[in-house]
Structures are given as structure tokens and as C-alpha cells.
A and B are shown apart, each in its own frame.
Chain A
Amino acid sequence: MSDVSQYLVSEEPFYQAVGNEVELYEAAYSERLPVMVKGPTGCGKSRFIEYMAWKLKKPLITVACNEDMTASDLVGRYLLDANGTRWLDGPLTVAARIGAICYLDEVVEARQDTTVVIHPLTDHRRTLPLDKKGELVKAHQDFQLVISYNPGYQSLMKDLKQSTKQRFSGLNFDYASGQVEAGIIARETGCAADVATKLVKVGETARNLKGHGLDEGISTRLLVYAARLIKRGINPNQACRMALVAPITDDADITATLKHSIDAVFA
């Protein structure tokens, strides 16, 4: 059995609830419903799950999904050793055994044939068949599966199958409203309140350009980066250019517009 304590979140992560998502999640957890969190990049999805794991005092196992990931990477595989072969549980199996919250980050990145292995765990069965090992793992009563998913990609190739989607309850995330977001930035970085408000204003201008040359607006995460740079004594204009403009676009017109908005906000 793996060491459970390493998966526990020891310190309270800062999370600012925007709506009643904490309540909703708690209800879903008490019913052990699988949860899907949706939302643009950097809006606090992963932080929320971390916070909930801390709040519920449950271990959290996070798997970052990618294209090359196979079912064995989730479930486990046989390894050769000096005495022959040895079975090694994958993260999903470990979570099912110890009763952890298993968080599959950016699940659309995984291939569809990989994602189907989670199906038996996500309905009434709550089991995980390890066909290679010939074992049927019954999920621990505390086990819960959470996936995150960014619908903003809008790619034909990257979407979840209906049969996968319909096993989850969903929580929609978005960037917090101006004041709340400013509060988050101030709290997270310890910067002055008016700097945070101004950063949010810049962020909003960029979010208005989504779909017009920008695939995604400036995320809360980037605003936090900018605030940190400013806190280090960097001039706000330069900090914003470094943290907010350069990472998100190469388009000259958009760069000019964003730079102007930074100048206009940080007069």
C-alpha cells in the first residue's frame, strides 16, 4: 500500500469562492459523484480541487494528461525485475485503493481510447478491472474522480465522447468578476489593492479580444505573475508587457492595442 500521507494537502491553499461552488462540490463529494470542472486556462480550476481536497481532508492524486498517455499509464503495468515480473499500480488504481480524489488534468489531451478506462469507476459499479493482472479493484468508499477540461480549444479533434461526458456532474468556472479578481490578486501576492484593480482592468481589455486574434484572454494566473513582478519593484508598464502581453500574442496589432491599454490604465 502506498504512503497515503504524501498525497494529503498539508497547508490550506488560498481559494476565493466566487459562487457556491464549494457547497456544490461538497454535496457532489458526499454522493461520490464524479465531477468535471470546465473553464478557461488559469482561472483557478486546479487550485479549487486542491482546496477541496484540503477541506475534505482527503488525499489528492493529480495526473496531467497528454497525447501519448496510454491506459496502462493510468491503471498500472507489469514490470520486469530480478525475480520475474512485478505489478505496479498506476495513479488511478492507487487512488481507487486508498480512497483519494483522482484529478485528471486537461483530460481532452488524452486519447479517447485511454479515457474509456475510467468508465467503470464513474458509474454505479465503482470498480476498476485490471485485466492484465486479473484483478477487480473495488474503489475505496472515499474515492472520487475529478476531471478538468478547457472548452476554449474548440477543436474538432479534441473533445470528450458523449459517453464520457455523461458520467460527470459539471462545474463551470470563469474568471472572477473585477473586484473579486482584484481581491484574489492582492491576497495571493500581497500587492497594493489599486495595483490589483488596474491589473484586472488590463486583463478585461484583453478578454474582450477573445476570438478576435486572441484564443484566450489574459488569465488570473498571468495577472498574478504581473503583480509579483511589480512587487519586486519592476515598473508596472514593463511588468505588464512581460507577464501579460508577450506570452499571449505575437500579433503586432494586438500587441499595440494591449500596450496602449496598459499605458491608459497605468497612467
Chain B
Amino acid sequence: MTLSQDELNELRTMLTCGFEQLDTAFAGCMEDAVARLSRDGVKTMLEGASLICMIGRGYEPVHVFLEEMPEIAERLGEAVIEKVSQAVWKMSRTPNGKAILPFLQTLGEAARRLGSETLFCQYIKIVFDMMESTTRSTHGFHQTIPSPGLPEMLGQMPFLLSQLSLEGLRNWIEYGAKHYLTHPERQIDYFTLQSADSKAILQRERHGTLFADNERKMGLYMRAMWQEKAAQFVPYSLGFDELRKPLPYFDELGLRVPDVFDDYEDPGIGIRVKGTDRYRAVLAHMAAHRRWTQAIFADNFSPFQRIAAEMFEDCRVDTLAMRVYPGLRHILQSLHPMPIEDGCDPTVESCVRHRLAMFSYAIMDSEYSYKNKDIIEFVKRFNEVMEAGESSTQEIAALALQFVARTRRQEDQSANVYFADTTVDYRDDNRHMWKFYELGDEEEMFDEQDKSKAEQDEKSKGLPPRHYAEWDYLGKTYRPDWVSLYESLHPQGDGAKIDAILTKHAALAKRLKQILDMLKPQQYVRVRYQEEGSELDLDVAIRSLIDFKAGTTPDTRINMSHRTDGRDIAVTLLIDLSQSVNDVPDGSSQTVLELSQEAVTLLGWAIDHLGDEFAVAGFSSNTRHEVRYQHIKGFSEDWNDTVKGRLAAMEAGYSTRMGAALRHAALTLAARKAGKKLLLILTDGEPSDIDVDDQQHLIRDTHKAVQELDQLGIYTHCISLDAKADEYVSDIFGSRYTVIDNVERLPEKLPQLFLTLTK
């Protein structure tokens, strides 16, 4: 007790608050406060507490405030005390009273993580921005409905702060607040990290080096330096297992690596390892195991012996890897923890891990300073074995057994295991090192069969969905994996119908044929520098004459000839098959679908005639979860009865989500080798879908998709049948569109349009 009763009483008078519970806790809180804060600081804090007492939320907020504030204020400066009490007061003036207690509870963690007053104030502002944007009103006057996500989000805050920078936190919150503003249940799912996109955004905003960004680099690394030709990577997330961090490992399905690595920093000794190098360390260690480790039988080993054998084997393969690539030593040594020799007290704790980690460190760093005789002896023996050659898993395991036997202690059995500085996090879990005489009866054995069955079922259903991102113009970000697209083969109908259409349009076809014939032998290209050719190339001829007059050897290749260049175009035609194409336009006797069918028939016939590569597909959508992409003709298919059959069976339904369809069509088109790539979209209206309220959203997304296609070298052109299309179509396609007002003339216009585009 450093405070006298009088001093306590004086402080108590400064706090205007009548809760009974306060009397018991007050003395303890004040001890702490006086020890950490200045006299003015304590006064400000008590004033703040009086304010919080008045908000009518009971005793608990006051208690948390008094308990947390001294530490926070000591860390960040006393100016924050008033800011916090004012923030709490402000919050109590909104319908979000319930969030006050969770808010106060996050402050301690926030102060520890953020460490500066500016950042701390930014944090409070972010929380308030979120609160303000998600607190809704019924009739637009007063805010009456509390924010559903706020208390939930504050509950997740310690985890969020550990994963995200403040910037990332703001982005994550803004995404949720914007997209689930009108949907309280979904908002709660988002802010409790239950929903898939919540996790996806969190993933995107995390700090550190994402594996996804470096996958190719790591594939090249494995191929170049370890000759692992077909390394399959399976990233796993570190974000959701707080208690037990998963370790890297590998099996026949691939190499499991963490999805994100922060740069490793140890300012004390001035070490810094970049995230990509940490990945390389993990991969190098696994590759070394794959190259040098042979599995040995585990059945006769005790758990301790196995741990030791694993550690010794890890050291062996690291040594071999560093022998091949000496530069690895720097990285591996930096990442290896440095156990302190007397860090573990063998009389009260189990020091097995500690001893092994010391051994491992001593192998890594030849200038180690350990005094333990056993360690020194075994490091020497280990090095002797390794100097003789590569050794083997079996031999090194035998050495490990001797080490265990020599250093065994009674207390090793203790449940109190010493863990600090004993985990080498670039090393995998060594499951590949062991084999068993008897296959166990572990649970995995049972569901093995089920899995293969489930996979088979999946396969028979058709292609798995492909996921595409969608552009969010308000947030200026992509919504990751937002749309699921299912590609399927279009059902087949009667191909004769298509031939009938061609007969019907025989006159048009004849005219088209004339144009086609003119198009076919096209593009004369000059071939210069010919000894013999059809014409004299004057430029070269004059140059030669000058040379000749000047007395040097003239170039005799003074002629030029011509050759015709082949057409080198790949075309994909994308047909909008949404419900609206079933309408019969004014002044017409046929539906838009029928007209499109005729037009596509003629176009197909024309392109086939020209010999250009082309593909046809239809698309429609039923919310973002189901975009249907129906394959009608592929690039390698001929213009035959099967294709005509699919074209004849075209049916319309649902809505028009254009962006995903464009992105998917681009996938196959971009892979073609043609010099020019053209994507034609035949549509009767603007992009829309029933799960999107904001008209602009899909228009902007489609525009973004067109830009992406541009970057892939694909020229996109839209043929719109919507007479009112002028309002939006140029927003999407720029100047690359044609509006056909008189839909009746579509069959005639479409092939002509194609021909002018490709002339």
C-alpha cells in the first residue's frame, strides 16, 4: 500500500460515481494508476471515468476503463485518456450502447499492437466510421437501429489486429460495411469472419508476402535449383489456427506451404530475411528431404527417439543442402532460433526439445558458445559422420538414439515441456520420414474410400465451376472469386433447321459470297531484295548504281515481288441467351432469338468459307452463383451437323451477366496463336442480373472486362440489338460497337459487319 487512506479518499471524491462495486476495486486501480501516471493524468482519468459512469451502461465499462487506461496512457501518452472517454461518451449518444464494453476491451490490445498515439487515434476513427456507416435509420430522421456488425467485429479485433495493418483493417471493414449494409445477418457473418468473402478479403489485405503472388517464382526455384520438375504447391492458411500453427509438409499430393510469410526481422542482431527467401528456405529444406531422406521404420522408436531422429535428420539434410548451395547458410541460420543454454531448468521442466534445438543450432553455427559436454561431443561426432560423405537417414537416426540415451533425464517425462526457441519454422513436420510395419487404424484410413467416391460423383456432373472476380467500381477493387461460371456443352437439336435457314437466305448468301470471294485473296505484301522479281525496286536499284559508280560491289538484288498474305484471325462469337431475347420486337414476326440464330448461321457459314478460326458460345446467368456458359462450337470443331444441331437448339432464359462470360471466352481465345483476335458479342440489352440492384455495377464490371481483354490483345466488338443502347453501350465498349435498330435486318448485317471488321 503506497497510498494512504486520506489520499485515497481525496481521489475518490474526484470520481463522481455511486456504484457499490467500485468501493472494493477502487484502491487496486488507483495503486496502478498512481504508479504509472502523473497527478494530472490520474485526474483526467477520474474525470473520464465520471463521464463513463454517467452514460447509463452500468458498472462494467467504468471498471474496464479504470483497469485498462493506466497501461494504455503510460504506453501512448496521457493525451489519449480524454480521447477515449470522449469516444465512449460519443458512442453512448448513438444506439450502439451495447458495443461500448467490447470497444473498451479492445483498447488494451490495440495500444499494444499499434504503439503510437496517432495510430491509436486512427484506430478509434476507423471503428467510429464503421459504426456511423452501419447504424441505420427507419425513416431517415434519427439513427435508431444499432449497427449489427459492430459488437461482433470488436469481438474479433485482437485477431484482426494481429493479421492486418491499420490500412488493411480499414479496407476489410469498408468492404463489409458497403456490401452488407442492407443485410444484417450477412453483415454479422462477415464481421464474425464466418463468410467466405470475409476470409478472402482478409487474406488479400494481410501483411506479408503472399504465396499466391510468388507461386511462379517458387516453381522456377524448385525447377532450377532442385530439379523438381513437377512441384505442386498447396498453400495452407495460418490465419485461422491460433493454438496450433500448422507446419509445412509434403506428401504425394504436393508441397504444403503457408499462404503468407512476414519478413523475418530480428533487430537485436540486425537480421532481416525477406518473405520470398523464407519460402525458399522452406522449399529448400523439403527438397533436401526429398533428395536425401529415405523413410525408416518407426515402430520400434519411442516418441522421444523419434523427435531426436527427426531433428538429427533435419540437420543432416540442411548440411547437405548448404554443401550444394553455400549461400543458403545465411538464410537458414538467420531463421534458426538461438536457444539460450540455461534457458531451461531441467529440474522442473522437460528439456528434450531445448537440448535438441541447441544441438541443431550448434550444427548450423560453427561458432556456437554452448558449454554442455554432450552437445559438444555429439556435434563433433555428427560433423565427423558428415565429413565422410552424405551419411544416411538410418545412420544419423542411430546417432540420435545415442544422444537420447546419453542425455536422458527423469524430468523429460514431465508434462511441463520447455518450448521457447525450439521451433525451427522453415522445417517441415517430417511425416515422410517414417514408415510403419503395420498400417494403423487411424481415422484417415476410413474416409479414404469415401473421398475417391465423392470425387467420382463430382466428375460425372460435368465441369467444376470456374470462379471469376468482378470489378467493384465503388470500391475500386476486385471482388475475389465472386462469380461461379459453369461451362457445359449446349444440347443438340436438329441440324437441318440451320440448312433450311441457309436456303431461306439464299439470295443474301449469294451476295455475301461475292464479298467473300473478293476478300479471300487479300493483302499483297511486298517482298524486297529479290534477285529476280516482278518489278524493279527503285530504291535499291539506285543504291546499287551508286555503289557501282563508286567502285564497290553493288547489291544485285534490285527487284521486288509480291505475295499474298493469309488471313490470320481467330474469332469468338458470344451470344446473349437471356430471357429477353425471347421477345418479338416491334414490327417483326420473329423473336430476337430466331433472328440471332439466322444471323449466326449466316456468319458461321461466311467465316467457315473464309477459313478463319472461330468459336461460338452462348451465355446467361442466374445470380452470381450460376453463370451458364454454353459451348456451341469450338475452334477445333468443323462447321458440321453437330455444331449446326447445337445452334438449332438454342434456348433463352435468365439474365445477362456479361463480365464473367467475357473473361471466360477470353481464356480460350487468348490461347490461340492467331495474329488478330476478335471477340464479337451479340446482345439485346444491357448487362443485368437479379441479385444486383445497382445498374451501374455490371456495366462498369463489363467495361473492366473489356479492358482486361484489351490487355490480352483481344479486340472486342459488341453488336447491340437494343435501340436504346446508346445510353450505356459506349460506356462499356468505347467506340467498338454497332447498334442495329432494325432487328429484322440482323441476318444480313451481322456477316457484313464481320467482313468489314476483318477487311
**Which residues of A approach B to under 8 Å, CB–CB?**
68, 70, 72, 77, 79-80, 201, 205-206, 208-209, 212-213, 253-254, 256-258, 260-261, 263-267
Residues in B neighbouring A208, C-beta threshold 8 A: 223-225, 227
| A212 contacts B220, C-beta separation under 8 Å | yes
Give the docked Cα–Cα distance between A238 and B325 (Å): 18
With contact pairs A68-B529, A264-B225 given, residues A254 and B327 touching in the complex (Cβ less than 8 Å): no
Residues in A neighbouring B217, C-beta threshold 8 A: 253, 256-257
Residues in B neighbouring A266, C-beta threshold 8 A: 326-327
Give the docked Cα–Cα distance between A212 and B326 (Å): 26
Residues facing A in B293-342 (CB within 8 A) are 324-330
B522 at the A interface (CB under 8 A): no
Could you list 21 A-B pairs, sorted by A, with CB under 8 Å?
A70-B557, A72-B531, A72-B556, A205-B225, A208-B223, A208-B224, A208-B227, A209-B224, A212-B220, A213-B220, A253-B216, A254-B220, A257-B224, A260-B277, A261-B224, A261-B225, A263-B327, A264-B225, A264-B327, A265-B326, A267-B326
| A209 contacts B220, C-beta separation under 8 Å | yes
Residues in A neighbouring B434, C-beta threshold 8 A: none
Complex: chain A residue closest to B280, CB-CB:
A260
| B220 contacts A253, C-beta separation under 8 Å | yes
Give the docked Cα–Cα distance between A257 and B529 (Å): 44
Residues in A neighbouring B553, C-beta threshold 8 A: 79
Give the docked Cα–Cα distance between A76 and B548 (Å): 17
What is the interface of chain A mostly: helix, strand, loop, or mixed?
helix
| A264 contacts B223, C-beta separation under 8 Å | no
B639 at the A interface (CB under 8 A): no
Q: Tell me, rounded to whole Å, the shortest Cβ–Cβ distance linking A105 to chain B.
A: 21
Question: How many contacting A-B pairs (Cβ < 8 A)?
Answer: 60
Complex: chain B residue closest to A263, CB-CB:
B327
* Most chain A Cβ neighbours within 10 Å, of B219, B224, B276: B224
| A256 contacts B276, C-beta separation under 8 Å | yes
| A257 contacts B531, C-beta separation under 8 Å | no
Residues in A neighbouring B548, C-beta threshold 8 A: 80
Residues in A neighbouring B370, C-beta threshold 8 A: none
With contact pairs A77-B556, A257-B217 given, residues A70 and B330 touching in the complex (Cβ less than 8 Å): no
What is the interface of chain B mostly: helix, strand, loop, or mixed?
helix
Interface string of B530-559 (1 = CB under 8 A from A): 010000000000000000100001001100
Residues facing A in B199-234 (CB within 8 A) are 216-217, 219-221, 223-225, 227
What 5 pairs between A and B have smallest CB-CB spacing?
A: A267-B326, A264-B327, A264-B325, A267-B327, A205-B224
Instruction: Choose one: B216, B221, B529; the contact of A260 (CB below 8 Å).
Output: B221
Give the docked Cα–Cα distance between A136 and B368 (Å): 83
Interface string of B272-296 (1 = CB under 8 A from A): 0000110010000000000000000
Give the docked Cα–Cα distance between A212 and B223 (Å): 9
Known: A209-B223, A260-B277. 12 other contacts (CB 8 A): A77-B556, A80-B548, A208-B225, A208-B227, A212-B223, A258-B224, A261-B325, A263-B327, A264-B326, A265-B325, A267-B325, A267-B327
Q: Tell me, rounded to whole Å, the shortest Cβ–Cβ distance linking B219 to chain A.
A: 8
| B276 contacts A267, C-beta separation under 8 Å | no
Complex: chain A residue closest to B324, CB-CB:
A201
Give the docked Cα–Cα distance between A80 and B227 (Å): 61
Complex: chain B residue closest to A257, CB-CB:
B220
Q: Tell me, rounded to whole Å, the shortest Cβ–Cβ distance linking B612 to chain A.
A: 19
Complex: chain A residue closest to B218, CB-CB:
A257
Residues in A neighbouring B329, C-beta threshold 8 A: 267
Complex: chain B residue closest to A261, CB-CB:
B225
Interface string of B343-359 (1 = CB under 8 A from A): 00000000000000000
| A257 contacts B326, C-beta separation under 8 Å | no
Instruction: Choose one: A206, A213, A257, A265; the contact of B221 (CB below 8 Å).
Output: A257
Complex: chain B residue closest to A82, CB-CB:
B551
Residues in A neighbouring B227, C-beta threshold 8 A: 208
| A264 contacts B224, C-beta separation under 8 Å | no
Q: Tell me, rounded to whole Å, the shortest Cβ–Cβ distance linking B127 to chain A.
A: 39
Q: Tell me, rounded to whole Å, the shortest Cβ–Cβ distance linking B403 to chain A.
A: 29
Q: Tell me, rounded to whole Å, the shortest Cβ–Cβ distance linking A157 to chain B.
A: 13
Give the docked Cα–Cα distance between A267 and B333 (Å): 13
Residues in B neighbouring A70, C-beta threshold 8 A: 531, 557
Give the docked Cα–Cα distance between A70 and B558 (Å): 13
